A = this chain, B = another copy of it.
């Protein structure tokens, strides 16, 4: 196969151009970030920009009922199932320019490179940009790809509402992206996604790209801890039912569980912690908190969930009047990626002399949904500043982006000849 490489400057300038859409000044970071919440006006503008580029590349575009955008490039054999690659263009409220965008714009750069080289692949190619990967607005992440692959029913997705009571069905219509193509029909030959790592492993180890082996299991819980609100000065310790202290004990215990090593490579985070009334001189009577657990081992995750449940029981038994309600808000098992795609990624990186390692994905990605219906895999690009993401500081430089999209190019070409 002829050697091809993408045009890094062109990729970079497209990343910059899309990054202008939804740009905002982040006061905390004192940097320009990106806010393109799913199905917002900014998301529409981002989609419009991406669709215009797709048309420039001569791709034929189809929008499905959940707003996923598919841009198809014909292969030599139209009877073969296509190779699909892409990501998403929506962002978290305080996001950067690379999360999702690198996967979509990198995919377009792959097509542009093939167009420039006049190369037609055997299998058709499809660039996908999926609706609401972040889940920040309507509460369910990987929504578009989950509906596209049958995990979430379309009508259920349409009914999801944001804080203002606006539902996905109406918002899709409003921004002009409620398409006609039926969902849950596409069955590609393979799906490949390039994404920023969103973690520190590659950058700390000085590696060029990551070969993603799997997406770890995710378990999310919302805790509602009810104690008794009372005056901080006037309430003797023996009479207290301090919901904030209970939340603190759970947070500390989670880290003890992680450190114990008994639950595999468990990671645990209490990201939300809202004591009520939240005043210096009032014992918190109620706390809403969240627990995010991740684990590359399904059995370890199940045992961790059980251990958390038992600890919460213990806490309630120890303190009269304390009630802790645990509501599971998300749960997925480990999603392994296909060895065929992993090897293709690894082979491409090695052939290019790019240092790499296998690692699992810490976050959820569209690829894990497509993995349910076809061979799927991912390429990680390292990120500066310890791979910080969901933050205006998110930054992968031209080389980091270029290396990983070159690998994407190679993998797509290889899989497109896999007949």
Contact = CB atoms under 8 A, between A and B. Distances in A.
Interface string A229-261: 111111111010010110111011001001100
Contact of A218 (B199, B216, B233, B235): B233
Given A281-B292, A282-B390, A361 B234 contact: yes
Interface string A275-299: 1111111111000001010100000
A84 B277 CA distance: 34
A267 B283 CA distance: 11
B247 A389 contact: no
Interface string A180-219: 0000000000000000011111001000000000001010
B388 A230 contact: yes
Interface in A92-111: 92, 94
B362 A234 contact: yes
Q: Which of A269, A279, A361 has the most CB of B within 10 A?
A: A269
A267 B236 contact: yes
A364 interface: yes
A363 interface: yes
A220 B363 contact: no
Contacts of A122: none
A419 interface: no
Contacts of A276: 28
Contacts of A361: 233-234
Contacts of A283: 269, 271
Contacts of A270: 244-245, 248, 275, 284
B275 A272 contact: yes
A395 to B, nearest CB: 14
A26 to B, nearest CB: 10
- Oligomer copy total: 2
A372 interface: no
Contacts of A244: 251, 269-271, 273
Given A235-B200, A267-B237, A280-B271, A391 B229 contact: yes
Given A204-B239, A244-B273, A231 B278 contact: no
A357 interface: no
A198 B281 contact: no
Contact of A233 (B216, B237, B251): B216
Contact of A199 (B92, B236, B387): B236
Contacts of A390: 231, 279, 281-282
A271 B282 contact: yes
A106 B275 CA distance: 35
Contacts of A255: 237, 242, 245
Interface of A: 28, 92, 94, 136, 197-201, 204, 216, 218, 220, 228-237, 239, 242, 244-245, 247-249, 251-252, 255, 258-259, 267, 269-284, 290, 292, 294, 329, 361-364, 386-391
Given A244-B270, A272-B280, 8 more contacts: A136-B279, A198-B234, A199-B233, A220-B281, A235-B386, A237-B255, A270-B275, A271-B278
